Structure 1
């Protein structure tokens, strides 16, 4: 895990002192809200419906037990006893007082955390596969390159005031768990036939009011040219991205309006200029130095199968169900990658109490080499758990109330804060997520349905990633009433696609029944239990769902 060096500590400490003075001036009336707004946003502070919100960066989703305990401290002392993990692998505290923010940032700095560049028109928190360093299908650990990008992008003088926010994701495995094709820059680690490591590069992905899948601009970029190429993309965007309309200011709009061929030409021209000067080419020894921070733990030589775990599963059906859904194969024999679901029935997706954070931190310290991950699916991950110790970990998670075995099932819902918190939202997301999880609470039914991703956004900004859900739900305002629009067939993995809108929206009273209608239609018409929802939708299209939801006339139309 990366550790702060002297520069990092000075950088963060100086920013805390600077913001402390800015808050003092705001509270004293020396700064107006209009003057203060860009300053607070540069430090991750938002003004929401009921209170200030602080968004804390968790670079590429990696935490230690000490960091998680630090977040628990903030939740208990400064908030209402909980935090909310987001789809950007960050955490938000939704009930803070402005006068407390400098002290919060100072406390976070003690555990090497901060809130810099979690807002504003800059390069945001770099995200990565939450199974990084543990996944069996991994080509290379994406955190190494995410850390390089973090260091390069932190207060980059040329990219501090971009046309709009800019997001980068890195994936290192065959299966895309980082949703790279819906980012401004998506990087897929690959190896050439000669064994040289590099990246397939996507540019121009994004969700929001104009969802787009990123375009491939490079099949293979040598790893040493990572920063040269990233800087070239940012320069093109900074020069040609629109600043006259914030709704058309993202790089995806530039890609759409100028076209892939022209944008690629501009990027390659900038890249060649940067490369010729050689200032950003990464020396192998520098990459190796960063990689050393992410060296794998000292795994024991263990058999692939754990007889102890298999015996425990026979006598404990809940454990068996948990292992089936929440324990993935690890690169090291005898270990598993364990997802800690924050999606218990009726819970708020992504919310976790201070007590739960401390319990999970203790578990990670004892059973997972002191490592944790935050997933963009709003869960936590224990990346390195011995299979022999899974029963003990499961019992500890049960005690903490976070042992739901539903990873990837219909109740593992992604959900934005919605109208309960956000001033931009049109509708509530949280109560809907709770009602859906309660409707599908029966675990046997969840297993019958199989892999199915529901994602809910309270407005078109799509913080809940509804566009890339198998079943996406968007909250809309219809003459002062909350309605919900359904999309089907989206995906954020290596087969990325934007979901199709199936028809008119549903009222708060009708939306859960509509979701159940979609599920029942799939179950009744799929070729068999081995055909997942997404494969079924891609085979048959939206017609059977429209007919079930709206009647034969609507389906024909």
Structure 2
């Protein structure tokens, strides 16, 4: 993973010092609340319902064991012994004291971390495939390009105050594990017919109150022209994006209002005028970035057949192998997902003890590195298959071996009304009610892969629009109601779910999900037909009829 150089340390430390002075002036009354707002947001500091919340950047989801231990230290010293993994692969501390934030930022800097641009109308944390570099279906590893974008965009003066927040995702694989078409800019690494490396470029994706899929605006962009083309897109957006209405300020609205063809024309014109003749990014710079992401020192294995399972292995181990372990491109190694979705726990929450233990396990089993995922789990990417049984024993003790990855109860869920000022309704209690109905693993596995996402408000932090079953909290005259969407998807194809019908009160949501599942099981053509395929074949009518039947 990327290591800070002397300049990186200096920039981040200066930012910490700057914010410390800004905080002192604010607390002394020398800076107004209004003036302090953008200053704290661009340092990741929110004021939530119960306490300030600090969002820490985790670039493209990569953390070292040293950084995990720092997260644990902050949990213990400044929070309530836990933190939260977000759908942008960042980490949030929900119970910090305002006056402690400069000290927290100082400690983060010592572990080569920061909270810069994790909020505000700027370019946010660049996300990527959590399996980057370890899967077979990649054209090439996208992480060096994520790092190039991160260094270019951090504290970029021209793009510090955009019309609205701006998000970029980069992948290098056929399978889209970063939902690139739901970002302001989505990039997929591809090779041209001549073998040249470059990008497909999408623009104008986003969720929120107006969910849209990004449009393909460049079929092939040579890799050396990456930064110039990103600048062209951002300049067009900065010039024409709506600043008079925050609900229409995202680039998706600009692309929609201009039309893909005209927006593309504007970008290409800006690019040709200012950047096409100057690549902005040399092959030497790309090679330098790639040097930080070389493969670890893997042990050689001649074959990759499965090892005999230990006689003492219980059924729960077999289920964990089936659900939470996947192939690795290197013979003899596996990719392991540590589930943060065990029963009774808020999805994505992780304790001090778990952080410290994962750091130890990462050192022993995965070359000292872990990944955070958009599904709010943690991945160990380089585990020897000979170590799987021992690792399972260790994480089982930590409640991190729940064998449910990809199932209905591998829920992506925002903190909702229990924590967030913006939320219209609770989300955690809805998730708990649904979990209780699907605790039986045999029943759960019979459903196959099935995604559920729950957002507490229209900002859609849990990305409910792209779930097979999405749930959105809405306000009706001060009461909590929930809108259900069906048919969303992401991966090889992206799709936005359709609203099923009128919103439901809190106590009717879990029964409604149960009825949706009943229709699916009754109507699917075979045990292997997915929920998405069944829904696309049937349409929403039979689901709607069952959900809104008398007596729900």
TM category, shorter: over 0.9
Cα deviation for residue 24 of structure 1 reads 1.2
Q: Which runs of 5+ in 1 are unaligned?
A: 553-557
Partner of 1:445: 443
* Secondary structure at the counterpart of residue 497 of structure 1: coil
Q: Residues 237 and 254 of structure 1 are in contact (CA less than 8 Å); yes or no, is this contact kept in structure 2?
A: yes
* Secondary structure at the counterpart of residue 221 of structure 2: strand
Structure 1 Cα separation of the partners of residues 496 and 95 of structure 2: 34
Partner of 2:125: 125
Structure 2 Cα separation of the partners of residues 136 and 176 of structure 1: 13
Structure 2 Cα separation of the partners of residues 532 and 307 of structure 1: 27
Partner of 1:510: 508
Cα deviation for residue 166 of structure 1 reads 0.3
Structure 2 Cα separation of the partners of residues 277 and 193 of structure 1: 23
Partner of 2:364: 366
Partner of 2:170: 170
Partner of 2:188: 188
Structure 1 Cα separation of the partners of residues 383 and 284 of structure 2: 31
Structure 2 Cα separation of the partners of residues 522 and 215 of structure 1: 31
Show CA shifts across 1:140-167 (max 9, x none): 1111110000011011111011000000
1:467 matched to 2:465? The reply is: yes
Cα deviation for residue 304 of structure 1 reads 4.3
Show CA shifts across 1:283-308 (max 9, x none): 11110111010001111221443554
1:298 matched to 2:297? The reply is: yes
Show CA shifts across 1:216-256 (max 9, x none): 00111111111111111001100010101000000000011
Partner of 1:429: 427
Cα deviation for residue 315 of structure 1 reads 3.3
Structure 1 Cα separation of the partners of residues 165 and 306 of structure 2: 50
TM-score, normalized by length of structure 2?
Answer: 0.98
Kindly report the root-mean-square deviation, in angstroms, between the aligned alpha carbons of the 2 structures.
1.2
* Secondary structure at the counterpart of residue 12 of structure 2: helix
Structure 1 Cα separation of the partners of residues 394 and 75 of structure 2: 21
Which of 480, 497, 500 is the matching residue for 2:498?
A: 500
Q: Residues 87 and 376 of structure 1 are in contact (CA less than 8 Å); yes or no, is this contact kept in structure 2?
A: yes
Partner of 1:555: none
Partner of 2:14: 14
Q: Residues 454 and 462 of structure 2 are in contact (CA less than 8 Å); yes or no, is this contact kept in structure 1?
A: yes
TM-score, normalized by length of structure 1?
Answer: 0.97
* Secondary structure at the counterpart of residue 158 of structure 1: helix
Which of 472, 487, 490 is the matching residue for 1:489?
A: 487
Structure 2 Cα separation of the partners of residues 270 and 242 of structure 1: 19
Q: How does 1:108-147 map to 2 (within 5 A)?
A: 108-147=108-147
Q: Residues 185 and 203 of structure 2 are in contact (CA less than 8 Å); yes or no, is this contact kept in structure 1?
A: yes
Q: How does 1:205-220 map to 2 (within 5 A)?
A: 205-220=205-220
Structure 2 Cα separation of the partners of residues 303 and 120 of structure 1: 50
Cα deviation for residue 325 of structure 1 reads 0.8
Cα deviation for residue 414 of structure 1 reads 0.2
Q: Residues 346 and 435 of structure 1 are in contact (CA less than 8 Å); yes or no, is this contact kept in structure 2?
A: no
Q: How does 1:237-252 map to 2 (within 5 A)?
A: 237-252=237-252
Structure 1 Cα separation of the partners of residues 313 and 23 of structure 2: 57
Cα deviation for residue 275 of structure 1 reads 2.6
Question: Mean alpha-carbon deviation: is it higher for 228-237 or for 488-497?
Answer: 488-497
Q: How does 1:255-294 map to 2 (within 5 A)?
A: 255-278=255-278, 280-294=279-293
Cα deviation for residue 277 of structure 1 reads 4.6
* Secondary structure at the counterpart of residue 385 of structure 1: strand
Structure 1 Cα separation of the partners of residues 312 and 207 of structure 2: 44
Counting matched residue pairs gives 550
Structure 2 Cα separation of the partners of residues 542 and 226 of structure 1: 41
* Secondary structure at the counterpart of residue 408 of structure 2: coil
Q: 1:408 to 1:304 in 2, by over 3 A?
A: farther
Show CA shifts across 1:448-490 (max 9, x none): 0110000000000000100110000000111111111100000
Structure 2 Cα separation of the partners of residues 414 and 407 of structure 1: 11
Structure 2 Cα separation of the partners of residues 494 and 263 of structure 1: 26
* Secondary structure at the counterpart of residue 275 of structure 2: helix
Structure 2 Cα separation of the partners of residues 204 and 146 of structure 1: 19
Q: Residues 181 and 492 of structure 1 are in contact (CA less than 8 Å); yes or no, is this contact kept in structure 2?
A: no
Cα deviation for residue 385 of structure 1 reads 0.5
Structure 1 Cα separation of the partners of residues 115 and 152 of structure 2: 17
Q: Residues 228 and 276 of structure 2 are in contact (CA less than 8 Å); yes or no, is this contact kept in structure 1?
A: no
* Secondary structure at the counterpart of residue 312 of structure 1: coil
* Secondary structure at the counterpart of residue 159 of structure 2: coil
Cα deviation for residue 62 of structure 1 reads 0.4
Which of 400, 403, 410 is the matching residue for 1:412?
A: 410
Show CA shifts across 1:27-82 (max 9, x none): 22222211211111111000011110000000000011001111111111100010
Partner of 2:394: 396
Question: Mean alpha-carbon deviation: is it higher for 233-242 or for 280-289?
Answer: 280-289
